[in-house]
Each structure stands twice: as C-alpha cells, then as structure tokens.
A = this chain, B = another copy of it.
Amino acid sequence: MISPIKWEDNQVVMIDQRKLPWEEKWLTCRNYQDVARCIKELVIRGAPAIGVAAAMGMALGALKINTNNPDIFYERLKKISDFLASQRPTAVNLIWALKRQEKRALSLYGQPVEEVTEALITEARAMLEEDIAINRRIGANGVQLVPNKATILTHCNAGALATGGYGTALGVVRAAIEAGKKVEVLADETRPFLQGARLTAWELNKDRIPVKVITDNMAGHFLKSGLIDLVVVGADRIAANGDVANKIGTYSVAVLAKENRVPFYVAAPLSTIDRSAYSGAEIPIEERTPKEITHIRGRQITPSGVGVLHPAFDITPSKYIKAIITEAGLAQKPFRSGINRLFKKINKIF
C-alpha cells in the first residue's frame, strides 16, 4: 500500500499526483515554499495528506530559519505557518496540522531553536504515522456497514493517496477486504481533475482490489439500477452539524443515493471536523482555474471564448448522510450531538 509522502534526509518527498497514473514520479521539496507549491498545484491533495504535508512543510521551514534568536525564530515560523495555510481554503486539516505544529513549538518556548526544530520534525513524522493508524481505525469502524459481496460507489479519491496511507473511504474498503468480505468498487471519474479515474483506479488496481470507472453522470443510473449497495466518500471539512464539504459532485451522489434508498457514508478523521463552523454555509468553497474545465491532459475540449464555472467543492447537507465514520466511532443523526459525543470519547481516551 502506497504512502504519498515521506520525510527523507531532511527533505519532503511526494509522489506527483498530477502525473498519475501515467507516470510514477517523486518530487523532492527542499524548502517550505516547495511544499506550499506542491499543495497549491495538487502534487499532493486530499485533506489528511495536505495536513501531513503542511506539518512537514513547517518542519522544513523551521530547519531553514537561520537564527538562534527565539523571537525571530517564532516570528518567522508563524509567517511560514500562515503562508502554508493560505495555499488551499477548504480542507480544514491544513489549518489543523499547522495549529498543532504551532502549539508544539510554543510548548518548547525557551528551548534552543535546534531543539524546537527537531521537535517539529518528530511531530510531523508522528502525524504521518498517526494518520495511517487513524485510517485503520476508521476502516475497522466502517467494516460493519459493508455487506459481503458489496458494490461500493466512491467519488473522488479518499484513499491512501489522499492521506498518510490506507485511506478514509478506501480505508473502509480495505478493512472490509481484510475482514474477508468480497467487495467491488465503482469509482466516479470525478471531473475536472479526474481523481477517481486516475488515482482511485490506480491505487485500488495496484492493490488488486476490483475497481471499475464510471463517468460522474452514470452514478445516478447505477444507484437506481440496484447495482450499488452503499456509497462511501471522504471529506474536506465537516461542520458541527454534520454538513460535509467534499469534492464537487458529492452532493449530487448523496441526493441520488437517498432517492434510491442506498446508504451514503462519509469517512473522515476527527481532524476534518471543524466545530467552529456551525453549518456547511460557513465553509469556504475553493474555485480553481477555469483551465481544469476547459482542458483535459493539456488538450482543449471547449470552444475558445466560452466561459465556465468551476467550484472545486460542494456542501452535502447532513440530512443525506446515514453516518460519518471516524476513528472514534460513528456519528449519526442528530449529528450535532453525535459529533460532540465522539470528541468527548476521544478526549477521554487520549
């Protein structure tokens, strides 16, 4: 199973997800600006993976701050954190990971700068390992929801590539298979960036998990035909009431699943839940470049001079969601109290 990012010889190495599945190319980030660019340009994507990348970016930034003066160090570190945070607006794990690194650094205030830096590196590497462990717990909590011989629809890529490894939505798939269940995945191709056709298909195929690709507009047809037993997707940010921001098209799949009485699940770590957002209306939606719509693999598909709209995410109201699968267990309706219960539980354990 692949992990899309690693800390190696005081550098951050990532597989270039823009080039998959055609080319398996690893990029080396030598400074935090490289990491920021990789986040912005989707070399690495997926909320949990972006979180790990940001944490490593901050460690890398700390390494390059050329001072022994703690005040200058902390001031620069804060700027690095803010710069990394500004790369993408929707996935809350980015901010969550940076806040965690800021806290770690502040907890060592007064120690030599080298020690703080070492601690940030250790923390970033721990966050990568933790993320994989969390995903395994998400998977374990989701297994009960997957019947044997299930066909599972997923949208975008919430797999190993979108996380430290193992995946959230695809973590549930992997856990079901490890539990001996027979599972086939239908992957929405997920225009415009084709994360389903490229990334979900690639990582499942690599692990010999049966997968077929469909265009996004086929999902409704197969939900109606009875082919699909359940839907599992990831999330970029979840509001306190259970509304989910995720890749554009998720809302449509959720409505179509409900219309056809197919359960719709969201799999995500607690770090994706933003309890400061009262509902989905408070989650910022990123708009990316029109070129993602007008061009595919560098070739133009629309007539020149014709405009496009290009939201990268949408909001799925919680009423369409059967359960949110987290490392602390399932949240169900009413989601606001269900989510609070999970946070209380996890705070008791850790």
Contacts and interface: CB of A to CB of B under 8 A. Distances in A.
Contacts of A256: 252, 255-256
Given A191-B216, A259-B255, A296-B296, A211 B249 contact: no
Nearest to A196: B302
Interface in A191-237: 191-192, 194, 197-198, 201-202, 205, 211-222, 224
B302 A214 contact: no
A293 B198 CA distance: 12
B217 A252 contact: yes
A160 to B, nearest CB: 15
B214 A303 contact: no
Given A220-B249, A221-B252, A255-B256, A212 B307 contact: yes
A189 interface: yes
Contact of A259 (B259, B293, B297): B259
A90 B21 CA distance: 34
Residue of A194, A214, A220 with highest tally of chain B CB at under 10 A: A220
Nearest to A188: B217
Contact of A302 (B213, B222, B309): B213
A13 to B, nearest CB: 22
Nearest to A307: B212
Contacts of A349: none
A251 interface: yes
Given A21-B302, A303-B205, A216 B213 contact: no
Nearest to A198: B301
A149 interface: no
A25 to B, nearest CB: 15
5 contacts: A216-B216, A216-B217, A217-B252, A252-B252, A296-B297
Contacts of A95: none
Contacts of A306: 201-202, 205, 211-213
Contacts of A221: 248-249, 251-252, 311, 314
